[in-house]
Structure 1
Amino acid sequence: MSSTTIYSTPPPPPLPTGNTNTHQFPTLDRLVFLIDKSKSINHLLQLHAALLRHGLHHHSILNFKLQRSYYTLGRLDYSVSLFERTHNPNVFFWTSIINGHVQRALHDQALFYYAQMLVHGVEPNCFTFSSLLKSCPLEPGKALHSQAIKLGFVSDLFVRTGLVDVYARGGDVMSAQQLFDTMPEKSLVSLTAMITCYAKYGELGKARVLFEEMKERDVICWNVMIDGYAQNGMPNEAFILFRKMLRARVKPNEVTVLSVLSACGQLGVLESGRWLHSYIENNRIEINVHVGTALVDMYSKCGSLEEARLVFDRIKDKDVVAWNSMITGYAIHGFSQNALQLFNEMCMIGHHPTHVTFIAILSACGHAGLVSEGWSFFHSMKDQYGIEPRIEHYGCMVNLLGRAGHLEEAYALVKNMNAEPDPVLWGTLLAACRLHDNIALGEEIAEFLVGKNLANSGTYILLSNIYAAAGNWDGVARVRTLMKDSGVQKEPGCSSIEVNNKVHEFVAGDKKHPNSKEIYMMLEEINGWLKAHGYTPQTEIVLHDIGERQKEQSLEVHSEKLAMAFGLISTQPGTTIKIVKNLRVCLDCHAVTKLISKITGRKIVMRDRNRFHHFVNGSCSCGDYW
C-alpha cells in the first residue's frame, strides 16, 4: 500500500508551492523520502524543525513517518511525545506506537497501548496483531488469539505465523502444531517458528523432517537446526549439518559460529575448533565479546588453555560472562590459583561476580582441596554480593568437603540447606563415601534415594562399588538385582580422540576399529614398557568377583588406553595426545598415563567427566587429587 492511500483521511493540509528563502520547499514525496532515509537523530530533528517552521507538523503522513523514524533510530520517547499530540490517531498510528514498544521488548507497554486503542474505539487490523504477537507471552497471546478469531484475522498468514510463534515460545507445542498443520500456506517464517519450537523442546526428529522438506532455507533456519542439535547434546549432528550448510553455499553468521563453537567444545575436537576460528577470521565475522567468549570456552573445553587465554586477552570491553568463561577454563583444568587470581582481577576492575562466577570459583577450590577458601567464597556470596546460593553452589561445596574427607560436614550441609537436594547432590555425597570407604553413610544415603524413588544409574553403581570395595559381594548382587528390576542400565565408558579432523571413539575391549590389530599390538608394546618401569596393575579397583589375571586383562583394555594406543600409532612423535572420556578416569589408567607421558616424552591431555588432566614427564596437573 502507498502512504497516500493509507492516510487519505483526514486530508493533509496543502503544501507550500512558492519559494522559501529562495529555495523551493520539498514536495510531500520528497519529504517522506528524506524522513525515511534519515540515518541519525540530528538529521531527523532538523527535518522536524523545518516542518514546524512551515506549519506541517500536523500533516498526518509526515507526522506518522516522523513517529516511526524516531523509534527506529532509538528515540522511542520522541515517538511517544508525537503520538500523544496526534489528534484522533487512526489504527496505523496506534499500530506504529505498539510496534515501537515491541521492538524495544517493552511488551507490557505495547499491550497497554493496545488496550487504550480499544478503549478509544479504534478497531485493530492484521498489522496490529502481527506486531503484538512478536515475543508476546503465552497468556496474553491466548487472549489475542481469541480476539483474532472474533475479528476474522486468524486466517491471515502473518497473524497465524505470529500465533504459532507465541505457542511455540510458551511451550504449548500441541497448540503450535495444530495451528501450523491447518495453515493453507506455510511461509519460511512459520516453518522456522515450528522448527524452533520442536528444537527448543528436544523433538529434533520432527524438526529435521520439517527442515528437510523446506524448499528454501535461509541462514536463520539453518541456525535453529544447528543450535537445536548443539543444545540437546548432539554436537556431532550439529557439526555435520554445519558442513552441509557450507556446501549449500549459505553464509554463516555470528549465531551460526556460536552454536558450532559450542558443539566443538562438547566434542573436545581441538583441530576442528582451530579450523572454525580460522574460518571466522578469514570470513570477517567480527570477534566481538560474544564470539570471543565462545572461543575461550571452546579452547578451554578442547584442552588448550594457552589459546583460550590468548583469545581472552584480545577481547575488547570484556563483560562478566567473558571473565566467567576464562575463570571456568582454569577451574576445569585444575589451575585453581590462576582461577582465584583472575577472580580478584575481575573484582578489582569493578565487575560484579554472578552465580556462574561462584560455581567456577567453588569448583576451582574443590579441585585443589581448598576448604577454608571455599567456605569463605560460599559465605561471601550472600554477605558481600547479595547472591543467594543455588543448588549448584551447594553441590560444589559438597564436592569440596567430600573429596577433602569432611563427610559429616558435607552431610550436615545437605540436610540443612535452604533448597531441596536433588539426586545429583546426593550422588556427589555418595561418590565421596565411595572415595573414603564410608560404607555406613553410603548405605544410608542410597537407601534414602531408593526409598524416595530418586535413585538413578549413578546411585546404584556407586553403592555397588562401595560394597565391592569392601568385598561385600552379596551387597553387590543385591544392588545389581535392584538395577535390573528397576530397568536401570549402567552408562558404558567411552573415550574419543581426534586425529586428522576425525573423531575416533572406543569402549572397553573394543575391536571394531579398522586399525584394531595395530592398536592391540601397540597395547602389547605399552605393557612391555610398563613392566620395565616397575608398574603393578591396580587390580583392587576392578570391582568384580573374578581372578587376579582376569582383573589385569580387564584393566589393559579400558577405553582410554585404547584411545591412547591409537593416538601413539596415528600421530607424529612429540605430538600432544588429547583424549575425552565420558566418565571419571580410573586410578589405574591415571597411573598408566603418567608413566606413558614419561616413557614417550609426550604430553597427554585427558578430559574426563570432572576435569582435565595434563600429563607431562610422569606427573599430572591434578597432583593425584581429583
Structure 2
Amino acid sequence: MEATGKFNRIYGVRYLKNRSSAGAGAGASSSSHFLEVDRAVFLIDKCKSINQLLQIHASLLRHGLNQHPILNFKLQRSYSSFGRLDYSVALFNRTDNPNVFLWTAIIHGHAQCGLLEQALFYYAQMLTQPVQPNAFTFSSVLRGCSLKCGRALHSHVIKFGFDSDLYVTTGLLDAYARGGDLMSAKQLFDKMPEKSLVSLTAMLTCYAKHGQIQEASLLFEEMEEKDVVCWNVMIDGYAQHGFPKESLLLFRQMLAAKVKPNEITVLSVLSSCGQLGSLESGRWLHSYIENNGIQINVRVGTALVDMYCKCGSLDDARKVFDQMRDKDVVAWNSMIMGYAIHGFSEAAFQLFEKMCSIGLQPTDITFIAILTACGHSGLVSKGWSIFNAMKDEYKIEPKIEHFGCMVNLLGRAGHLQEAYDLVRNMKIDPDPVLWGTLLWACKLHNKVSLGEQIAEFLVSHNLASSGTYVLLSNIYAAAGNWDGVAKVRSLMKDSGVEKEPGCSVIEVDNKVHEFLAGDLSHPKSKEIYLMLEEINRWLKANGYTPQTDVVLHDLGDRQKELSLEVHSEKLAMAFGLISTRPGTTIKIVKNLRVCLDCHAVMKLISKITRRKIIMRDRNRFHHFESGLCSCGDYW
C-alpha cells in the first residue's frame, strides 16, 4: 500500500505536468482540464505531509492552476490541517475575489487553531465584500467564540435565515452553554425542531457544567443514542458536583452497555474513587486501565497517584509515581500533597527538594502542599521561611489559599494574634474560608472574645456560612455558655442555615457503606450495635473515659456518653470489625473533622484489635496503629 501510494503521488504530479504541457501545445479540451483538477483534488486529499502538499502546490503554480477556486479551497484547508496557517493565509491573500467557501476556509482554519479574534476579523472582512455567509461560515465562526460574540452572531444567523439550520443552531447552543447562559441555551434547545447527538451533548454539558445534575440526568436518560462523550459528560458531572457514588454507578452501567471507556472516562472515575476513599474500586480501575489499552500517560498517572493518596495507600501512590516517565510538576505536586495530607511532612520536604534539584520550577500548588505539610506538623518557623521564599526567591505572589495555609499553621500552633494580624494586613480580601479557619483556631484554643468578634464581622457582612454558626456555637458550648449556644441556633433557624450532618464511609467487598450518627438504616444494624456494646466493654477494660466535653449540647453526662457512642465513625468501625477478617486494615472516610473522643477511641481499638486503622477526615489522614496516631495528637 505504501509503495502504491508513493507511485500515485509521483505519477499524479507528473500527470499534471504532462497534461498541462500537452494542453499548452495542442489546445487541451475542457474535459482534460477537468481531469487535471480532479486529479489535483485527489492528490491534495491524500497528502500525508506538508512536503507533499508543497510539491503539489508548486506543480499547480507552474501549470496555471493557482487561481482555481476548488483547488485553492482544498489547499487552504490542507495547510491549516498541517498546522501551517501562515501558508493558508498567504494563499488566501493571493486569491482574486475569494468566494464564500474560501472565506469560510480561512475562518475555520483560525478558529480551529484557537485564534478566535482573527477568525472574527476575517468574518467581519467578509461582510464588507459582496459575499454572504453560509451555514458552514457560521458553524466555523461560532466555534469557541465568547458569549458576547455568540449573542451578536445569533442576530446575524437570524438575519441571513439560518436560524432553522441544525448545525448553526447547535453551534449557537454550544456558545451559550460554554458562556454559562443556561437560560438562553435552554430556550434555543427547546425550540430546535430536530436535535442531533451533538446538540443533545451540548445541552447535557451545559447542565452538568453548571451543577444542574438532576436536569442533566433526566436528559441523559431520555437520549436514545449515547456515545462515549455523553457518558463522559454525565460521569464527570456527578464527580465534579459531589455525587461520586452516582459517578461510579454510571461507569458500571457504561461498561454494561458495551461502551468502551477512554482516558477522559477514567480520569473522572478515578476522581470519584478518591472522593469516596474507595481503594478497592480504585485498584480495580487501575487494573482495567492496564488491561484495556488505556495509556498511563502523565495525566492518568497523576490521577492514579491522587486517587491512591486520597484512598489512604501511599505505597501504591509512590509506586505509580516512580514508574511514571517524563513527570511534570503536576505529578510531583500530587505526590507531595499526598505526603502532606497524611502528615508525613519530612517525606514531602524531601520530595520538594528533589523536584527542585532536577530543574522543575515549583508552582503555587506546590507551595500549598508544602505549607500544608508544615501545618500538620506545627512547623511555624519553616512555614514562614517557605512562605517568604515563595515571594522572594520563586517570584510567586501568594494567593488566598497560601494565606489560608499560614493562618491554619499559626492558628493551630496557638499564634492567634499573629494569624489575626496576617489576615488584617492582607492586600487581598480574605474570604469566608479564611475567616472560618481563624474562627476554628479560636475554638481550638478557647479564645471566646476573638471568636465572637470574627463571627459578628462575618454575620454583619453576609459572609457567614453554616460552618461559621457551628463554630461559634462550639466556642460557646466549650466555654459552657449555653445561652450563647441557644442564641446562635436561633440565628441559624431564622437564617435557614442547617448544620452539615456527620457522615462516615467504609468500603467492604467493593461496596461503599455510609453511616450517619445514630444510624439505624443499615441492614446489619443489629450486629453493628452489638459490636458497639462489645467495643465499649473493651474500652472500659482498658481505662477509657468518655470525653463528654466534646458534646456541644446541654445534656446530662450519661446522655452525652450515649451521644458519643453512636458517632458515625464508630458505627463504620463496628461494621468494619464484623465484616472483615482479623488483622485486616480498616479504612474510614469522614466528611467532618474527627472529634477528640473518637480519635482517642480509634487509638485504643487499634491497640486492642491489633489492626491498623486509617481515617481520612476533612483536614487530613490519621494512621492509627498499636495505640498511636500518625498525627501525634496534633491535628
- TM-score, with normalisation over the residues of structure 2? 0.93
Following the alignment from structure 2 to structure 1, what is the Cα–Cα distance between the partners of residues 625 and 405?
28
Residue in 2 that maps onto 1:467: 476
Structure 1 CA distance for aligned equivalents of residues 391 and 92 of structure 2: 46
1:338-384 Cα offsets, whole Å, 9 max, x none, are 22222222222222222222222211111111112211222223323
SS at 1:505 equivalent: strand
Q: Distance in 1 between matches of 2:277 and 2:339?
A: 16
> Which stretch has the larger CA shift, 288-297 or 370-379?
370-379
**Residue 106 of structure 2: aligned partner:** 97
Are 1:524 and 2:533 matched, yes or no? yes
Partner residue, 1:623: 632
Hey, what does 1:189 align to over in structure 2? 198
CA distance in 1, matches of 2:496, 2:102: 62
**Equivalent in 240, 245, 249 of residue 254 of structure 2:** 245
| CA shift for structure 1 position 132 | 0.7
**Equivalent position of 1:555 in the other structure:** 564
Deviations 1:461-494 (A, max 9, x none): 2112112212222222222222222222211111
Alignment match, 1:415: 424
* Residue equivalent to 1:301: 310
Structure 2 stretches lacking a partner, 5+ long: 1-15, 25-31
Given that 1:39 and 1:73 are in contact with CA atoms closer than 8 Å, whether structure 2 keeps it comes out as: no
Are 1:350 and 2:359 counterparts?
A: yes
**C-alpha distance in 1, partners of 2:115/2:256?**
40
Candidates 503, 507, 517, aligned match of 2:512:
503
Contact 1:165/1:193 (8 A) holds in 2: yes
Partner residue in 2 for 1:16: 20
CA-CA distance at 1:606 after TM superposition: 0.2
From 136, 139, 146, give the equivalent of 2:148: 139
Q: What secondary structure is seen at the aligned counterpart in 1 of 2:193?
A: coil
Q: What's the CA shift for 1:561?
A: 0.9
2:606 maps to amino acid: S
Distance 1:560 1:315 in 2: 35
Residue identity opposite 1:453 in structure 2: N
Identify which range, 538-547 or 269-278, moves more after superposition.
538-547
Could you report, residue by residue, the CA deviation over 1:436-459 in whole angstroms, capped at 9, with x for unpaired residues? Answer: 111111111112222223222211
Is structure 2 residue 336 aligned with structure 1 residue 332?
Answer: no
Alignment map for 1:527-538 (pairs within 5 Å): 527-538=536-547
The answer for the alignment partner of 2:127 in structure 1 is 118
Question: Are 1:158 and 2:175 an aligned pair?
Answer: no
2: CA distance, partners of 1:301 / 1:19: 73
Match of 2:599 in 1: 590
Checking the alignment, whether the CA contact within 8 Å between 2:329 and 2:361 is kept in structure 1 is yes
- Given residue 356 of structure 1, which amino acid in structure 2 is its aligned partner? I
CA distance in 2, matches of 1:180, 1:550: 57
The reply on whether 1:231 has 2:235 as its aligned counterpart is no
Deviation track 1:142-169 (CA, whole Å, cap 9, x = no partner) reads 1111111111112211111111111111
Residue 445 (structure 2) aligns with: 436
Letter in 2 for 1:485: D
Q: Match of 1:476?
A: 485
Q: Quote how far apart the aligned CAs of 1:193 are.
A: 0.7
Looking at structure 1, the residues matched to 383 and 530 of structure 2 have their Cα atoms a distance apart, in angstroms, of 47
- CA contact 1:230–1:260 (8 Å) conserved in 2: yes
Whether the 8 Å contact between 1:269 and 1:503 is mirrored in structure 2 is yes
Q: Report if the CA contact (8 A) 2:17-2:59 is conserved.
A: no
Question: 40-49 or 493-502, which moves further after superposition?
Answer: 40-49
Matched-pair contact (CA < 8 Å) for 1:15–1:28: no
2:269 & 2:525 partners in 1: Cα distance? 31
Cα contact 1:98–1:111 (8 A) shared by 2: yes
Query: Does 1:600 pair with 2:609?
Result: yes
**SS of residue in 2 equivalent to 1:385:** coil
Match of 2:76 among 38, 59, 67: 67
User: Displacement of 1:14 after TM fit?
Assistant: 11
Contact 2:72 2:102 in 1 (8 A): no
Q: Is 2:559 the partner of 1:566?
A: no
Q: Which amino acid in structure 1 is aligned with residue 424 of structure 2?
A: K
CA RMSD of aligned residues (A): 2.1
1:455 corresponds in structure 2 to 464
For residues 599 and 19 of structure 1, do their structure 2 counterparts lie closer, same or farther at Cα, with a shift above 3 Å needed? farther
SS in 1 for 2:615: strand
Deviation (angstroms), 1:49? 3.6
Q: State how far apart, in whole Å, the 2-side matches of 1:48 and 1:601 are.
A: 77
Q: Structure 2: how far apart are the matches of 1:481 and 1:150?
A: 58
Deviations 1:245-276 (A, max 9, x none): 11111111111111111111111111111111
Q: Which amino acid aligns with 2:522?
A: H
In 1, the alpha carbon distance for the partners of 2:109 and 2:325 equals: 31
Q: Percent identity?
A: 75
2:54 aligns with: 45
Mapped partners of 2:608, 2:38: distance in 1: 82
CA contact (8 A) 1:13 1:56 kept: no
Partner Cα separation in structure 1 for residue 324 and residue 113 of structure 2:
27
Per the alignment, residue 9 of structure 1 pairs with none
Q: Deviations along 1:171-222, whole A, 9 cap, x unmatched?
A: 1111111111111111111111111111111111211222111121111111
Shift of 1:51: 3.3
* Equivalent residue pairs, number: 612
Post-superposition offset of 1:549? 2.3
**Out of 278, 286, 297, which is 1:288 matched to?**
297
Q: 2:10 corresponds to which residue?
A: none
- Tell me what 1:170 maps to: 179
- Residue 304 of structure 2 aligns to a residue whose secondary structure is helix
- Per mean C-alpha deviation after superposition, the further-off stretch among 538-547 and 293-302 is 538-547
Give the deviation of 1:128 after TM superposition.
0.6
| TM-superposed deviation, 1:124 | 1.4
Residue 337 of structure 1, CA deviation = 1.7
Find the aligned partners of 2:621 and 2:196 in 1 and give their Cα distance.
47
Contact 1:530 1:595 in 2 (8 A): yes
Find the partner of 1:198 among 203, 207, 215: 207
State the Cα deviation string for residues 45-98 of structure 1 (Å, max 9, x = none): 333344344444443333322221121122222222222222222111111111
Structure 1 unmatched runs, 5+: 1-11
- Letter of the 2:629 partner, please give it: C
Match of 1:264 in 2: 273
| TM-score, length basis structure 1 | 0.94
Superposition deviation, residue 286 in structure 1:
1.1
Q: Distance in 2 between matches of 1:121 and 1:453?
A: 57
Inter-partner Cα distance in structure 2 for 1:51 and 1:602: 78
The answer to whether the 8 A contact 1:13-1:59 is kept is no
* Partners of 1:63 and 1:43 in 2: CA distance: 16
Aligned to 1:373, the other structure's residue is in SS state helix
Kept after mapping to 1: 8 A contact 2:99/2:131: yes
Conserved in 2, the CA contact under 8 Å of 1:370 and 1:400?
yes
Q: Distance in 1 between matches of 2:42 and 2:388?
A: 61
Amino acid at match of 2:20: P
Residue aligning to 2:394: 385
2:523 to 514, 520, 531: 514
CA distance in 2, matches of 1:550, 1:542: 10
Q: CA deviation at 1:287?
A: 1.1
Instruction: Name the SS for the 1:16 alignment partner.
Output: helix
Name the SS for the 1:537 alignment partner.
coil
Match of 1:490 among 494, 499, 508: 499
Aligned partner of residue 561 in structure 1, secondary structure: helix
